[in-house]
Amino acid sequence: MTQLELARAGRITAEMKLAAEAEGIAPEIVRERIAAGVMILPANKQRDLAQPKLIGYGATTKVNANIGTSGDWPEVEKELEKLEVALAAGADAIMDLSLGPNLRRARQEILKRCPVPVGTVPIYEAGFYGELSKDKLFQVIEDHCRQGVDFITVHCGINRRVLEEIQESPRVCGIVSRGGSFIVRWMQETGEENPLYAHFDELLELVREYDVTLSLGDGLRPGAVADATDGPQIAELLELGRLVKRAWAKGVQVMVEGPGHVPLNQIETNIKLQKRLCHGAPFYVLGPLVTDVGAGHDHITAAIGGAIAAAAGADFLCYVTPAEHLGLPDADDVRQGVIATRIAAHAADLAKGIEKAWNWDKAMSKARKELDWEQQLNLALDQATAREMRKRKNPGHRAECSMCGEFCAMKQCQ
C-alpha cells in the first residue's frame, strides 16, 4: 500500500511520524491531510529515506534544488559536490536533471548519498537517447522507480486538445519546458497522442507499486512574463486537475507543477486558480520569476516571486540559481539559489502563520534586543555568511555592531 492508501486506512506510518515530528504537527493531522490529498510524503519503498518531508497544506514551505550533469559538463563528481552544498544550505529535496552519457551513474550516486527526497524527470533520459515511444518511456520510468527515486515529473497534461492551444498561441517564447518540448515535438512528428496521457492509468499502476509520487509537469509553463496566464497554460492546468483525481482514485500521491515567468500582479491569481482547479493538491512552482531581465541575478527575481506564491498557497519552491538562462550552475550558484529560495519560503511561512516560523523569528528578535551575537549567529538562516560578515565588519569584540557603535538604539533604550 502507498502512503496515501495507508493514511486512508487510518494507519500512521513510521515516515509520517518522523516527518510530523520535524514539522511540529500531530501525526494524526498529518495522516488526515495525506488521506485528503492536500499533503504528500514522497518516499519510495525501494529505499530507506532518512529525512522524509511533508509537502502541502499546513507544512512549512519546502525548497528543492536542481542538480545534474549535461552534455557539456558530464562529470558526476561535480554534481555530487553540488549535492553536498545544497544539503548543507538546507535544501529539502533534490532533483537530478542529468543529461549526457553518465546520467544513470549520476542518479545512482545521488540516491546513495541523499537523505532527503530525490526527484527526476525520466523523459530527459528517454529524450537523450532519442526514443520517446510508449514502451521506451515506460521502461525508463520503471528503471527510475526501481532505483529508488521518490518523485518524478511527468508531462501528462499535454494532449492533442492542449496542443491546439499552443499552436494557435501568439506566445513570445513558445515552449520553454525541456520535457514539454520533447513531448510536443514527438506528437507533431508522429501524429500520435502523448503516451503519458493516453496510458495514464498504466502509469499509475507502475508508480503505485513503488509508491513514487507523481509531479504533474507544466510542459506549457510561461517562459516570459508576457506569456503568463495565457490559454495554453490554463488549458494544460485544466487537464492536470482531471489527472489529480484519477491519481487519487488509484491511491497515488500527486502534486502539480506551476509557472515559470509571471508578473507580480498575476502570481496570487495563478496560485488560487491552481488550488481550485487541482482540488487542493500541493503546488510546486519554479520561481516564479517576476521579470525576464534579471540574468545573472535570477535567484533574486525567483525569490521575489516565490515568496508571493508561497504566501498565496504554493507549497514547494524549486530554486533558481544566478546561472539560470546562462549556463549550468556551479556549486556557488547552487548555494546562492538554495539560500535565496529558503528566505522566500520562510517569509511566506510567516505570512501563512506557521508557528514554527514565527518562533524562529521571535527568538532572533529577542537575541538582537539583548545584543546576544552568538545566539543571533546560531539563529541566522545562513550561519556561515553571517559569522564571516560579523567577524570581518566589526573591530575587536565590542558589544555593538560597527554601523551605530556606541549609539546603538538597542543599548541606549532598555
- Binding-site residues sit at 66, 95, 124, 155, 177-179, 218-221, 257, 261, 284, 325, 401, 404, 408
Contact 283, 255 (CB under 8 A): yes
> Which DSSP symbol is given to 214?
E
Annotated binding site for Zn(2+): 261, 325
The three cell numbers of residue 406 are: 556606541
Give the total residue count for the chain. Answer: 414
Pairing of strands 283-286, 254-258: parallel
| DSSP annotation string for 27-83 | HHHHHHHHHHTSEE----TTS--SS---EETTSPPEEEEEE---SS---HHHHHHHH
With b meaning 16 or more CB within 10 Å and e meaning fewer, what string describes 38-60? Answer: bbbbbbbbbbebeebbbbbbebb
Q: How far apart are CA 198 and CA 189, in angstroms?
A: 17
Binding residues for [4Fe-4S] cluster: 401, 404, 408
Contacts of 175 (CB under 8 A, 6+ apart): 166, 181, 184, 219, 220, 223
Q: Name the binding residues for substrate.
A: 66, 95, 124, 155, 177-179, 218-221, 257, 284
205: part of which helix (H) or strand (E)? helix 200-210
Q: Where are the beta strands (DSSP E) in 205-253?
A: 213-216
- Kindly list the distances between the CA atom of residue 243 and the CA atoms of 40, 157, 163, 254, 295, in Å, as whole numbers in the listed order: 16, 8, 17, 9, 35
